[in-house]
Structure 1
Amino acid sequence: MDGREATEDGTITEIYSIACHKISAHLQLDCCSSHSVLPWQGKHLMIHSITDPSQKPLHLTGHHGDVSAVSFGKGRDPLMLCSASEDYVIAWDVERCYRKAREGAIASGTVIGTLIGKIVHLSFCPLDKRVSACSGSNMYILNSKKEEVLAVLKGHLGPLTASVFFPWDPNVLVSTSEDRTFKVWDVTKEEILYQSAVLSSCPLLCVYVTEEGRQLITGSADGQVWHHTVLDDYKCRLVMKLDLPNMEQTQRRIQESQAQQISGFGSNSTGDGVMVEMAKPVLGIFTFKPLPYSGHTKERDGSCLWIGSSDGLYLVNLASSELLMALRFKDYPDLSITLAGSLSVTQKTDCDIHCAVTSMFQPRMALWDIRLPGQLDRLCSQLEKALPGQELSVVPSSPPMPTSPLNAELTRRDPKPPKKTGPGPGKPGGVKDQSVVFHAQVKSSGYAVGSQRKMFTPKTNIQKKAQRPTKKSKKIEGLLSEYPSGLAAPTVQHALLSASPTHTPVFCLQYSGDGKQILCGLGDTSVLLYKSSLTGNPSVYTGHSKALSSVCCSHSCGWILSASEDQSVRIWAAGSREPTLTMGSDRFSAPVRSAQFYYLDKFLLLASGSSVHLFLSHLDTSRDDLKRYEQKSFSRLVRRFSTKSGTDITAMSAINDFFSYIVLSCGADRSIQVFDLNVGSVAMEIPESHSRAAHHITQNKGSMYSAQAQDSYNLFLTSAITDGIKLWDLRTSRCVRKYEGHVNRCHQCTAAFSPCGRFVATGSEDNCAYVYDIRSSSYLHKLQRHTDTVLNVAFNPAAPELLTGTLDGRLGLFRPEERASLL
């Protein structure tokens, strides 16, 4: 055994390193909060005290063959240890063994299994009464107090690799195998409760179960991690899949991009070195819960896990599927092992962990002490703050600056002078007015003659009695004076109708601000305006020549805006069949991807190409009967804001219900651009937001019927094909949660916040809509009974209702079960 000094930066200290008689790359190791154990000289065990490093290591003997697996118990009084070789499985009472060693006696354990075979993995149940031993394709359940085989579980088609008891139920465990599946077992009945599909092309190597949130995580030999939620009947629902090699590459690109934003210089990459991709087998998954420290009072949510691979340790946030930290062994040259064959991690304190590791290609084992105060400080700083000098909020804290584009005002144009066909009166060649037609003294003209008799004077001061709304009308509309935040999510289908006889797709949906009307943009170039109850015939607005890209209702509910792929934007007055204002292709060089009213209807906000266009408009519904083609409405471009990289904008979002300076957009280069229109520039850029370009972005806008905390308005969602939905916090510019339970492989399915901010809904390609609790990555409800892909969803801002639009042109209305029973 040889001691090692701390590495140059003082992060990892090698407590001891042991030379073995042969390579033991795939040996199961284990650590607990107080002790670590390593096989020593093949057949013996060496226990090291973590809490008291000065204590002499304890040596245990009893095996005749080489030890292949070790595992600590779950309890601490007494602390149990189990070890296995081809001859025996022995259970040890650690405190009793220490006491025997101090007395000079030989410490001994209890043989609980004999000649079971080569055991690759051991695990105690939560009560330390039973031990699962994986040998070949069979799993043996042993009594931890005496030699007794309680059950033999058979069902896997390949050799087992790991097994873990559920922390909340000692009668249920999960096992993984080289057949690339995992199974959930009822130990007492010796039957399978759940069997997964084949998850990967490589064997599953490890499994981890957390009681908090009842999560089940498995890892494979090619660096893939599957995150499942365990339901009450022990069926497992896939929440998300993580790709460890891709996560590391994405983190490097983000760090390089953020360094460029801070320094303002070009790339830091010199191009001298060549990055070599290597496999990252998931050797172990371990929990990590940092507590408040270093002045930080905010406790983490407990969703962070250490993922151990052959080249390092990776700290992953399961909620957002984000790589928070990477400790690569090759970065510490003083370590005796740089490529691990197996490892085990335990948390000693809030910023101190221990790691037992074996070498993949050398006969060596080691125990490391890893201290992370500096890294955790940086981690908390990243999680709680955005980039330096950038404090953004959707709700403004100060009035707009004098030079802000938002202070722009529209000056009305002077009316056009009458067109003159010749010289005016009094000029040579001029024509004088003729009294027969224009002069008042000629009575035959009729211009100065008053009415000969008075017919009747209509009464204009009649006051109509206000009609009290009947229960029937309230039932039809389904609107409430205040949004009921305590109700459950909408799950019961209340109505289903076809918006078009030709089954054209529903490309966009939006409720009016009062929740009384629904705007629907179709693929056949038409815009439909329904009542919120979907009863009666809709009003139809036509004029576009291509499919709709977005529809929007003004804050005053008096105007309707639509944008199309034909590079035009049209604004209608509610109830009018002809557009009040048309902005054609002469204004835009590319299709308008998104358009909306902005700043309490003061501006029009449009996204086309690589720019966000801010327009002022004057809308006039009056028309001359002889010149109906002439519009009295007009618009003026205030400012054009371009993205930093010049990439095309794929989606845009801004709040119109209150004054806000922030405009969010997604780019074709997979970035998120945050525009501050008070300053008039890009305030922040989030690179590599998705693995593909996001096709949809929406903010938590709330509604006038529901009150939320001010900070909640800084949350927004982005959707990308094959990469799920991400929930972002504008204040930290980081993803805080990811939702992947739905299916989105080719169509541009959208997502929406509920007015109360508790739920997130999204469309899906399996003919369903999904409703998530915003705090959980696993979906709450799966809304079926759709006939095709659900493209769009929208929440009613005034009532607990969810509207869905499908690829075949159908609209579905869902209400909560309690609300549906009342109506």
Structure 2
Amino acid sequence: MAAVQYFIERFSVTCNKPVSHLQLACCPSHCAVPWQDKGIRIYENNNLEPPLELIGHHGDVSAMVFGTLRDRLVLCSASEDYVIVWDIDRCYRQIKEGVIASGRVVGTLLGKVEHLSLCPLSAKLTACSGSRVFLLNAEREDVLGVLKAHLGPVTASDCVRLFLRVLSAIVVILDFCLRNIIFELIIPSFLSVNFLFLCLGNGKQIACGLGDGSVLLYNSSLTSNPAVYTGHSKAVNTVCWSHSKRWFLSTSEDPTLCIWTANASEPVLTMGDDQFAKPIRSAQFYYLDKFLLLASGSNLLLYLYHLDTTRDDIKRYKQRSKSKLTSKFNMKSGTDITSMSAINDFYSYIVLAAGADRTIQVFDMNQGCVATQIPDAHSRAVHHLTQNKGSPFCTQALESYSLFLSSAITDGLKLWDLRTARCVRRYESHVNRCHHCTAAFSPCGRFIATGSEDHSTYIYDTRSSNFLHKLPRHTETVLNVAFNPAKPEFQMFLSL
């Protein structure tokens, strides 16, 4: 016989206005309801004594949520004027002492807040107001950031683990031979977790693109303060060095592309959103820096460019650098490009592009056509492609340059041979279920490094499907890896 569940009404409260559209608060010990619009009444679930009344808002209370901070029960409440955090035990104590219960204001004039969410692990609070989500410090008045990606009103948010992942990122330098950490750097940048890209260039400098739209340039030892480059209004999704190492480019979700030189904080060349119908998914220098190669929507775009670093003091914001679209290539199926790879270290006419339809297409830039298409390369869309481009500091066998890697969520890492367009090896020891973990060839071409969601980095030998080394004890998911082209070291980016 099936068990019968009963709901027992403990008590009922009549409000002066309908509250079905408001976020009410309830926890195992207490519940809270708005009272006379601007006030709050807190009832104990197991004690029907007169409720605790909280007064502090000047506008109608629109959202409430219970939570814990430092093992103390708190209530977060919001109206158009304030977001207030109330310590429940302290409020009871103040009432007994004959003092008006008071709370801590953590947000001011955010608009009508529809939803609140509290993260007890990091003491952070999200407040949904209109189309924006405010990220607040729950212990003091401090707006950590504002999310503006939604086009319509935001009705709910959840930050159970969000803030542990967005407040900082770590770059780690490891000795590949000894498996020792040489240096570790914490980058306290808001929203860097989803968009931090490492690019080592000649091994002497490290460029990091962050989610706040900035690019940081470190020396390889990570011992000095970085140079900061700001020119994007949204998250950076690509960073790439030129072959000459004089320039590096960055692209953003704006969508814009900027080319920088290390000695200037302003971009030498900016290509704006009027040139691109969709965001730039990938970009790089190509053909020994002669071209710029971009992936936007379903198109591969090839630009000629001229960089001029001189500035007119009167018209200093008018750039003298130029760019011109020379060729445009489309994916056969018209699907959007999710990843792209080309070699810039030597003259190569091969460009790889992965589509949202799970295909990998090989473009012959000499003929201007698709030379080979690999259907159903993975069970999901490929999020990362990389070719074995070698290094000027060591040599490889000629056939090694025909190898490339593809990564897809839940489908591991595959090694492909361009000559046969077939998968020659799979690597599945690492964990990649939801994040876009990337992989990299070592300069000698013998090893592959990949990030993993089990807080480790895996090193594979290209001749075996089993991992050679597992580098554990990281604090979070390892997203990006990059080898130093001149030393047996590699860098990793971890999300925190």
Q: TM-score range by the shorter chain?
A: 0.5 to 0.7
Hey, what does 1:587 align to over in structure 2? 275
The counterpart of 2:454, out of the listed 766, 772, 781, is 766
Q: How does 1:205-604 map to 2 (within 5 A)?
A: 489=177, 491-502=179-190, 504-505=192-193, 507-512=196-201, 514-604=202-292
CA contact (8 A) 2:191 2:210 kept: no
Determine the structure 2 residue equivalent to 1:696. 384
1:674/1:683 contact within 8 Å kept: yes
Q: Tell me which of 323, 329, 342 is aligned to 1:641.
A: 329
Q: Identify the residue that residue 775 of structure 1 maps to in structure 2.
A: 463
Aligned pair count reads: 322
> What CA distance in whole angstroms lies between the structure 2 residues aligned with 1:490 and 1:606?
38
Q: What is the aligned partner in structure 2 of residue 51 from structure 1?
A: none
Q: What SS does the aligned partner of 1:695 have?
A: strand
Q: CA deviation at 1:502?
A: 3.9
State the SS of the aligned residue for 1:713. Answer: helix
Distance 2:237 2:415 in 1: 23
Q: Distance in 2 between matches of 1:490 and 1:695?
A: 31
1:519 Cα offset (Å):
1.2
Could you list the per-position Cα deviations for residues 665-709 of structure 1 after superposition, in whole angstroms to 9, with x for gaps in the alignment?
A: 110000001000000111110000000000000000111001001
Q: Structure 1: how far apart are the matches of 2:349 and 2:482?
A: 24
> Helix, strand or coil: the match of 2:304?
strand
Distance 1:498 1:537 in 2: 12
> Match for 2:477: what amino acid?
T
Structure 1 residues 716 and 490, CA gap change in structure 2 (3 angstroms):
farther
Shift of 1:490: 5.8
CA deviation vs aligned residue, 1:633-670 (integer Å, no higher than 9, x gap):
01000000001111110000000010000000110000
Q: Distance in 2 between matches of 1:541 and 1:663?
A: 29
Q: Distance in 1 between matches of 2:340 and 2:362?
A: 10
> Within 1, Cα distance between the matches of 2:457 and 2:212?
23
Q: Tell me, yes or no, if the aligned pair for 2:189 and 2:212 is still in contact at 8 Å.
A: no
Aligned-residue CA RMSD (Å): 1.4
Change (3 A) 1:490 1:621: farther
Give the corresponding residue for 1:254.
Answer: none
2:277 alignment partner AA: S
Q: Secondary structure at the match of 1:524?
A: coil
3-state SS of paired residue (2:315): coil
1:547 shift after superposition: 1.1
Residue equivalent to 1:738:
426
1:488, distance to aligned residue in structure 2 (A):
6.4
What is the distance in 1 between the residues matched to 2:435 and 2:204? 29
Q: Which amino acid aligns with 1:612?
A: L
Q: Residues of 1 paired with 2:211 and 2:468: CA distance?
A: 31
Distance 1:781 1:617 in 2: 43
Equivalences for 1:9-28 in 2 at 5 Å?
Answer: none
Match of 2:88 in 1: none
Q: Does 1:628 align with 2:316?
A: yes
Whole-angstrom distance in 2 between the partners of 1:492 and 1:732: 38
Higher relative contact order, chain-length normalized (CA < 8 Å, sep 6+): 1
CA distance in 2, matches of 1:712, 1:490: 26
Distance 2:190 2:239 in 1: 20
Q: Which residue is equivalent to 2:417?
A: 729
Offset, 1:758: 1.1
Residue 510 of structure 1 deviates from its aligned partner by 1.1
Residue of 705, 708, 714 corresponding to 2:393: 705
Q: With structure 2 as the length reference, what TM-score do the two structures score?
A: 0.64
Say if 1:490 and 1:802, in contact at 8 Å, map to a contact too: no
- Give me the whole-angstrom Cα distance separating, in 2, the residues matched to 1:674 and 1:786: 36
The letter of the residue matching 1:560 is F
User: Which structure 2 segments of 5+ residues have no match?
Assistant: 1-172
Alpha-carbon separation, structure 2, partners of 1:708 and 1:499: 35
1:614 to 280, 285, 302: 302
SS state at 1:586 partner: helix
1:328-380 alpha-carbon deviations (Å, 9 max, x no partner)? xxxxxxxxxxxxxxxxxxxxxxxxxxxxxxxxxxxxxxxxxxxxxxxxxxxxx
Tell me how far 1:499 sits from its aligned partner. 2.0
- Give 3-state SS (helix, strand or coil) of 1:777's partner: coil
Cα distance change, pair 490–499 in 1 and its aligned pair in 2 (3 A): farther
- Deviation track 1:79-102 (CA, whole Å, cap 9, x = no partner) reads xxxxxxxxxxxxxxxxxxxxxxxx
- 1:682 equivalenced with 2:370 (yes/no): yes
User: How far apart are residue 774 of structure 1 and its match?
Assistant: 1.2
Whether the 8 Å contact between 1:490 and 1:800 is mirrored in structure 2 is no
Task: Give the deviation of 1:574 after TM superposition.
Answer: 1.8
Aligned to 1:716: 404
Matched residues in 1 for 2:442 and 2:495: separation? Answer: 22
Write the distance in 2 (CA, Å) between the matches of 1:781 and 1:714. Answer: 25
**Cα pair 1:751 1:760 within 8 Å, conserved:** yes
Tell me the amino acid that sits aligned with residue 617 of structure 1.
Y
Instruction: Name the structure 2 match of 1:117.
Output: none
Do 2:410 and 2:433's aligned partners in 1 also have CA atoms closer than 8 Å? yes
Once the two structures are superposed, what CA deviation does each residue of 1:238-286 show, in whole Å capped at 9, x if it has no partner?
xxxxxxxxxxxxxxxxxxxxxxxxxxxxxxxxxxxxxxxxxxxxxxxxx
- In structure 1, the partner of 2:491 is 803
Q: Which has the higher helix share?
A: 1
CA distance in 2, matches of 1:560, 1:489: 29
Among the aligned pairs, what percent are the same residue?
Answer: 65
**Using a 3 Å threshold, how does the CA distance of structure 1 residues 595 and 649 change in structure 2: closer, same or farther?**
same
Q: Comparing 503-512 with 610-619, which one deviates more in the overlay?
A: 503-512
For structure 1, the residue ranges without an aligned partner over 5 or more in a row are 1-477, 479-486, 809-823
Q: Which has the higher strand share?
A: 2
| Mapped partners of 1:501, 1:523: distance in 2 | 8
Secondary structure of the 2:486 match is coil
Amino acid at match of 1:791: L
Distance 1:488 1:560, change over 3 A: closer
